[in-house]
Amino acid sequence: MSRVGKTPIKLPAGVSVAISKNLVEVSGKLGKLSLVYKDVVSVQQDGDVVTVTPVNDSKLARINWGTVQRRIANMVNDVTNGVNINLDMVGVGYRANVQGNTINLQLGFSHDVVYDLPAGITAKSDKPTALTISGFDRQLVGQVAAEIREYRKPEPYKGKGIIRNGEFVLRKEGKKK
């Protein structure tokens, strides 16, 4: 039995869930998210509690049981609180400037990198070397952070690059004479 799957999801005030055949739609104060799931699990709502149960005892049902429960719980949390990812730019001259819906990145190239933010995502730069990406869709916020990080991945010799907050870059020893 899945310990994660058995846990009921409590809905906070202001969050509503609509369940149809294989679709769950969660809407809250920040936005609306939907999840299409396989028919090997069933999702029921009883008041302000959502539960996920497997339809049968197959391996596929047991695999999807905990996954669907966590995805729905994350969606409830995201439309309530939102998602933030902090990026730090380490390197001489590396900085970011947010202007409306675009991010202007100076990353040591001969040109500036201009990144246009998709709808539903906001960025904030408190200091020139720190960037905060926010939104209510966990997948989209992570995708934007990954695309920005792709311009300058952290390198192991000098530690330069775009680093997620809390990420550890394993440093290597350079050449010896």
DSSP assignment of 10-36 equals: EPPTT-EEEE-SSEEEEE-SS-EEEEE
Stretch 130-157: mean pLDDT, rounded? 94
> Domain 3-81 falls in which CATH fold?
Outer Surface Protein A; domain 3 (3.90.930)
First to last CA, the chain: 59
Which residues make Cβ contacts (< 8 Å) with residue 24, sequence separation at least 6?
Answer: 17, 18, 34, 35, 37, 43, 72, 75
pLDDT in tens, 26-52: 999 999 999 999 999 999 999 999 999
Q: How far apart are CA 40 and CA 99, in angstroms?
A: 46
* Per-chain mean pLDDT for the chain: 92
Q: How far apart are CA 107 and CA 129, in angstroms?
A: 10
Q: Where exactly are the structural domains of the chain?
A: 3-81, 83-164
Same fold, 3-81 and 83-164: yes
Stretch 10-37: mean pLDDT, rounded? 93
Check residues 108 and 177 and name the one with the higher pLDDT: 108
pLDDT in tens, 48-72: 999 999 999 899 998 999 999 999 9
Q: What is the length of the chain?
A: 177
- pLDDT of 140 > 90? The answer is yes
Q: State the residue for tokens 């408190």.
A: 126
**Rg for the chain, CA atoms, rounded:** 21
Q: 5 to each of 1, 43, 155, how far by Cα in Å?
A: 8, 11, 39
The amino acid sitting at 34 is: S
Q: What would the CATH number be for the domain defined by 83-164? A: 3.90.930.12
